[in-house]
Structure 1
Amino acid sequence: MAGRDDLGACAELVRRGDPDRFRAAMAARPSARGVLFPLYAFNLEVARAPWVVSEPMLAEIRLQWWREALEEIAEGQPARRHEVVQPLARALDAEGARLLDTLVAARRADLERAPFADEAALWDYLDATAGTLHWVAARALGAAEEDVVRAAGQAQGLAAWLSAVPELEARGRLPLPDGRGEAVARLAKEGLGRLGQARKRRAAVSREARAALIDLAGSAAILARAAAAPARVAEGRLAPNPLRERLALIAAASGRW
């Protein structure tokens, strides 16, 4: 597990950059935070790499740096002196590091900022990013069925992606393969379907591993809003009300994600 100082640095990064996951990690038992905060801090650093520099080549260098750091972790080499890499190395095994490398590779799609070819390409991206993040967290925490965790992670990833559409468009990205209302509604319904299938097999995720899925809180409500009124996506009006969001977090923390 990460040391206290390392964990505090990761937690602060997540608190400032990904408040939803910060609340999810804080709702988890303390022993799980040594896995969740380093993973969430890593994910934040990688996710924003294509957006914080003006030149794609500089973003490519940033992503390559993370791939090399993960390769060193996978090979059992000493972790780089970095506020996220060192606690991340303590949270991962070799397979976990290799899985995260696929997440970094998937983020290269954000460098070109080209639209997804079709819905299948978007789902592949969501699985490689959100699906992989949830699976790495779950397998580090306890026993779980990979396909269940990945399906839940894909749904959470879609909810987050739809919520980010206005910002992505403002940054020059075409985030949806088809922005028409009926296509957006269909996509959201597919996300609800994947989440529903994962929920039916909730028992395949151990109590310990369920901490990796607390950040699903609110995802179902977001997807339901997008399915019922797809215009909300472009308008940035998908967030559930604060009380409902709090209740969803409490439920997810108790294992009813």
Structure 2
Amino acid sequence: MSLSACAAQVARGDPDRFAATMAAPEAARARLWPLYAFNLEIARAPWVTAEPMIAEMRLQFWRDVVADGRVPAHEVAGPLVDLIREAALPADLLDRMIEARRWDIWREPFVDVAALDAHIEATSAGLYWVAALALGAAPQHEAAVRDIGFAAGLAAWLRAVPELGARGRQPLPDPRPEAVAALARQGLARLDRGRTAGLPRALRPAVLPAWQAGPVLRMAALDPARVARGALALPEFSRRWRLLRGAFTGRI
């Protein structure tokens, strides 16, 4: 039950977020690793078994940890509970993140765009906001952080569309090119709104993982066929440059 174990788990399971977090001050990293490792735990829970009830039990385990503050023998639960107590993180926010992951268990399609938006709001935007809270965010920062988190989540979702489809999911409520382009433009609008809010420097590590969202969403908006082809990855040089720029200037 250590921060190093959480960091190692993020390095293996979410290398882009790991790279962004490594650009943060050490004190910020110590608060972000448990959250990001927790996010990986709940994100993978529906995928590690073909039995829906076992997946439900895995998610319930984390709901109990968050609600009760109990510390089972688990390398992520201990640091997470410590952080919840130290930073007074809202249990209901973490619980909504867990609940949203049930979509991956039962394979039900989203009935409309609003349902997809709600899923990304609970998962990605929720993660960005709880990370910002762990770094000392105030209520007036929530809208901007959530806008950036939503855009980052939508970009990641569009990149994952081919894999989700291959696993039997229906990730888009409307896969027509014009609908996909509209989704991407929505994400860009929220990203721009979040960027212009002027977040404090101390909160930059919480939003830096969105460093790829802008170009990914622009590609999807201009050529939505790239989504189904799985062709939204940035060139390696561009990825590295954007991360370095974000780390030094705060621009994402």
Same fold (TM over 0.5): yes
Note the aligned Cα RMSD (angstroms). Answer: 1.2
CA deviation vs aligned residue, 1:43-101 (integer Å, no higher than 9, x gap): 0010011111011111000000000000122xxxx522210011112222444333111
Runs of 5+ unmatched residues, structure 2: none
Q: Moved runs in structure 1, 4+ residues, more than 6 A? A: none
Structure 2 residue 43 is the aligned partner of structure 1 residue 44: no
Report the equivalent of 1:146: 142
Alignment counterpart, residue 183 of structure 2, candidates 169, 180, 187: 187
Report the number of matched residues: 247
Change (3 A) 1:95 1:14: closer
Percent of paired sites with the same residue: 53
- The 1-side partners of 2:169 and 2:226 are apart by 18
Match of 2:24 among 17, 28, 40: 28
For 2:246 and 2:98, locate their aligned partners in 1 and report how far apart those are by CA, in whole Å. 27
Q: TM-score, normalised by structure 1?
A: 0.93
Once the two structures are superposed, the pairs formed by residues 131-210 of structure 1 within 5 Å of their partners are 131-144=125-138, 145-201=141-197, 203=198, 205-210=199-204
Which of 52, 55, 63 does residue 51 from structure 2 map onto?
55
Quick check: 1:142–1:206 contact (8 Å CA) kept in 2? no
* DSSP-derived class of the 2:182 partner: helix
* TM-score with structure 2 setting the length: 0.95
Alignment match, 1:256: 251
Counterparts of residues 118-129 of structure 1 (less than 5 Å): 118-129=112-123
What is the alpha-carbon distance in structure 2 between the residues aligned to residue 38 and residue 252 of structure 1?
22
Q: Is 1:89 aligned with 2:88?
A: no
Q: Secondary structure at the match of 1:49?
A: helix
**Paired letter, 1:244:** S
The worse-fitting range, judged by mean Cα deviation, of 136-145 and 49-58 is: 136-145
**Aligned residue number for residue 240 of structure 2:** 246
Q: Measure how far apart 1:10 and its partner are.
A: 0.7
Structure 1 letter corresponding to 2:219: R
**Aligned counterpart, 2:94:** 100
Distance in 2, matches of 1:143 and 1:35, equals 13
Name the SS for the 1:159 alignment partner. helix
Given that 1:122 and 1:177 are in contact with CA atoms closer than 8 Å, whether structure 2 keeps it comes out as: yes
